[in-house]
Structure 1
Amino acid sequence: MKKFNLKTMTASLLLAASSMSFAADIDMNADANDLAIKGYDPVAYFTMGKPVNGDINYTATYKGAIYRFSSESNRDMFRADPAKFAPQYGGYCAYGVTRDKKFDTDPTAWRIIDNKLYLNLNKSVQKAWLENTQAFINQSDESWLVIKDKTVDEL
């Protein structure tokens, strides 16, 4: 039986993990499996007015990220116009972008403003963001142009 050196195995795994590349574009917030918005259906925010978990049987990709949908019709609407339904700033926290940061989001901390979906880090951050939403959106729109092509580690 071959013995394994724990330090060597750990170093090998870290090296392998650091060399992995994921399909999602750099300007998309997706997990290690390229799943966007934690599997929530982006169309449901618009059609049902609430966050709804997607089903693994209904998926579509956009900018290398995988989106899940609660129904075939929602998937088809997304495929017809993904930019209409995908969250702004690649699904990163709308408030975080005002600070030139790419923060993950809580899919239950959301708002649709001017037919665009915005997500926030959590409901506490969202509360602050809602105090001056239009000013924050204007600031985020400008900041996004600068940070969208940078990795989280570069910010």
Structure 2
Amino acid sequence: MKWISLFTILFSFQAFAARNIAEYNLGAGQTGLVHHVTGDAYDPVSIFPEGGSSIAKGKSEISLTHEGVTYHFASENNRELFKADPKKYEPTYGGWCARAMIVGQRIGIDPKYYTISGRRAHYFVNSRAKRFFDRDVTRYEGEADQAWEQQSGEEPRL
């Protein structure tokens, strides 16, 4: 009887966890950075040293559309930096959680959780996902890059 109860509890937990993870999934045409869960748009340049080194909300009046995605910026300077080198500032994996991408899942992000690796900005759904990825960035970048290529048909942003 104990085993049946334990099995029921574990099964219920898995079903609950899967449902909650699925709630983070966004449509294929969205990115977590641009279409954040709250509807806010974040400046993709702001996390880099030249953009201020911390995440900042973008302003709708300072925007730029690049490859069908409209980005909002905290300043005119950040918009000009993006315009000059969009490949540097576009979020890696389309703005999906880099930790989830390792296993081929597109899960939305919380832009407060990010890691910069060279010219790449990796975003995460939460601090736990970020800590996991940060343990071995080189390894996990490689795994996420492969999954991104398989899912999107695009080469990873480098």
TM-score, normalising length from structure 2?
0.71
**Per-residue Cα deviation, 1:71-114 (whole angstroms, up to 9, x for no partner):** 11111111122111011001011111101110100100001101
Cα distance 1:92–1:30, how it changes in 2: closer, same or farther (>3 A)?
Answer: closer
- Give the match for residue 40 of structure 1: 42
- Letter of the 1:95 partner, please give it: R
- Give the match for residue 150 of structure 2: 146
Unaligned runs of 5+ in 2: 1-26, 154-158
Instruction: Decide whether the 8 Å contact of 2:32 with 2:109 is kept in 1.
Output: no
Alignment of 1:12-91 (within 5 A): 26=28, 28-29=30-31, 35-36=34-35, 38-46=40-48, 47=50, 48-91=52-95
Runs of 4+ in 1 over 6 A off after TM superposition: none
Instruction: Decide whether the 8 Å contact of 1:111 with 1:117 is kept in 2.
Output: yes
- Letter of the 1:103 partner, please give it: I
Structure 1 residue 70: Cα displacement:
0.6
Identical pairs, percent? 25
Rounded Cα–Cα distance in structure 2 between residues aligned with 1:136 and 1:100: 12
- Secondary structure of the 1:124 match is helix
- Secondary structure of the 2:31 match is coil
Rounded Cα–Cα distance in structure 2 between residues aligned with 1:36 and 1:113: 23
- Letter of the 1:85 partner, please give it: Y
- Give the match for residue 133 of structure 1: 137
- Secondary structure of the 2:45 match is helix
